[in-house]
Structure 1
Amino acid sequence: MLITTVTTLAIRCPECGALEFHNLSRFALSGRGKLQISCSCGAFLLGIVSKPSRSYWLQLPCVFCETKHVREISGSRLWGKKTNTLACPESGLELGFIGSYEEVKGLAETLDTGLETLMDELGYDEYFNNPEVMHQVMQCLQDIADNGGLYCQCGNTRIEVDVFLDRLELHCKECDSINIVYAETEEDLTVIQQVDSIELAQHGFKCLDSFSNSPKLTKKTRRKRNKQS
């Protein structure tokens, strides 16, 4: 009889947006009875607490609700062969997967599109000035973060992202620096597509858009940006 002692977690970090894979061992829970998984940026990803009834409490942060959800799962399911989906109970948004490495790796690709699909269903497209450009800029930013290219000069890699109708605002909570990434025009999209890293200036302010990055555009042709939030 083969007893599974290791399972794989795939989850997207709600802080830096990186897709993280972690191997969970049941031996890591023995004695202490609890285990905490953190992102490479330091953010909390998953908490596991064993119960006397041979079940476990799972606590995971939700990027949609901006809170932590708690789920009870039996030991046979957690360490079994079937893959478990970790989802937001309010929206149904898939937050991560736990199971065999092969299945989890394949399913993890859907974590890139789940939030965009949910936004479409809720009508968030009507909120953005240019939904298509916004979605593509979001994806570019996600790729940059996944490759470790999103960070601040102060050393912090846990960069928060606020979404507005025409832009993304990147914020470092350690030194309060801000970097604005505009997502309104095709030129804005072209700019971020040519970028492989974004460094926030320590205690500073920067913009990443077609006007501040293209020598062909002068102040005379610069239009007024919509600053509504």
Structure 2
Amino acid sequence: MLLNTVTTLAIRCPECGALEFHNLSRFAFSGRRSLQVTCSCGAFLLGIVRKKSHSYWLQIPCVVCESKHLKEISGVRLWSGEPFDFICPDSGLELGFIGRAEEVKDLAQTLDTGLEALIDEIGYDEYFNNPEVMHQVMQCLQEIADNGGLFCQCGNSRIEVEVFLDRLELHCKECDSVNIIYAETEEDLKVIQEVETIELTRHGFKCLDSLSNSSNSTKPTKKTRRKRNKQQ
């Protein structure tokens, strides 16, 4: 009889937005009852607690509720290799998958394809100054990140994204650099469509928008954050 000892987790990090794959080993529980999986950026992705009844409690962060959901599953099911998903009970949004590596990689394509799809699922259109432009800017940013074009001069490629009414703010946790991408006008969209890489300046501050090259023009700073990360 072939005994499965490894299963694969696929989940998009709620902090940095990266699509993460992690192998979970049955042997990792040798001499311990719990296991925690973290993203490369350090964010919590999954907590597993083994119970005496040969079942497990799985805890996963939710990008919708900004809390953690619990799911109980038998050890037989967890290590069987048969894929199963995590779903937010309030929104129905798929949060991640566990199962055989090949199947999980295929299923992961149905997870939100980036920040733009996540906003579509949650329905925050009414909060943006220009929802259509914002969605397209998010899609462009995700494509840049997926192609390895989003990074900081300090060497960190796990960049946090915060979403505001009129812009995206990129933040490097390693050196505290910031890059602002405005997303209000067609001109803002054209700017990000013309770049292949976005490099944050080490310990610095930059803007990527249609007025960034104009010394006499500045965009107003709005303080109300509507989605992702800590509340102001």
Q: TM-score of the superposition, structure 1-length normalised?
A: 0.83
Residue 137 of structure 1: aligned partner: 137
Residue 180 of structure 2: aligned partner: 180
Q: CA RMSD in A?
A: 2.6
8 A Cα contact 1:15 1:158, kept in partner: no
Map 1:148-159 onto structure 2 (within 5 A): 148-159=148-159
8 A Cα contact 2:115 2:142, kept in partner: no
Residue 225 of structure 1: aligned partner: 219
1:51 aligns with 2:51: yes
Q: Structure 1 runs of 4+ off > 6 angstroms?
A: none
Q: Distance in 2 between matches of 1:173 and 1:225?
A: 25
Q: Distance in 2 between matches of 1:167 and 1:191?
A: 13
SS in 2 for 1:97: strand
Map 1:80-229 onto structure 2 (within 5 A): 80-113=80-113, 116=116, 119-120=119-120, 122-212=122-212, 218=214, 222=217, 225=219, 227-228=221-222, 229=224
Residue 29 of structure 2: aligned partner: 29
* Runs of 5+ consecutive residues of structure 2 not aligned to the other structure: 225-232
Change (3 A) 1:61 1:121: closer
1:66 aligns with 2:49: no
Instruction: Tell me the amino acid that sits aligned with residue 34 of structure 2.
Output: K
8 A Cα contact 1:150 1:159, kept in partner: yes
Post-superposition shift, 1:31?
2.1
Q: Distance in 1 between matches of 2:82 and 2:190?
A: 42
Instruction: Tell me the amino acid that sits aligned with residue 225 of structure 1.
Output: K
Q: Distance in 2 between matches of 1:74 and 1:115?
A: 33
Q: Distance in 1 between matches of 2:121 and 2:31?
A: 45
Q: Distance in 2 between matches of 1:212 and 1:167?
A: 13
Q: Distance in 2 between matches of 1:125 and 1:31?
A: 49
Instruction: Tell me the amino acid that sits aligned with residue 102 of structure 1.
Output: E
* Runs of 5+ consecutive residues of structure 1 not aligned to the other structure: none
Instruction: Note the alpha carbon deviations across 1:151-189, whole angstroms, 9 max, x for none.
Output: 333444443222112211122344433211011222222
Instruction: Tell me the amino acid that sits aligned with residue 190 of structure 1.
Output: K
8 A Cα contact 2:115 2:138, kept in partner: no
Greater fraction helix: 1
8 A Cα contact 1:19 1:146, kept in partner: no
Q: TM-score of the superposition, structure 2-length normalised?
A: 0.82
Change (3 A) 1:181 1:114: closer
Identity among equivalent positions (%) equals 75
Post-superposition shift, 1:53?
0.9
Post-superposition shift, 1:219?
5.2
Alignment length, in residue pairs?
223
SS in 2 for 1:126: helix
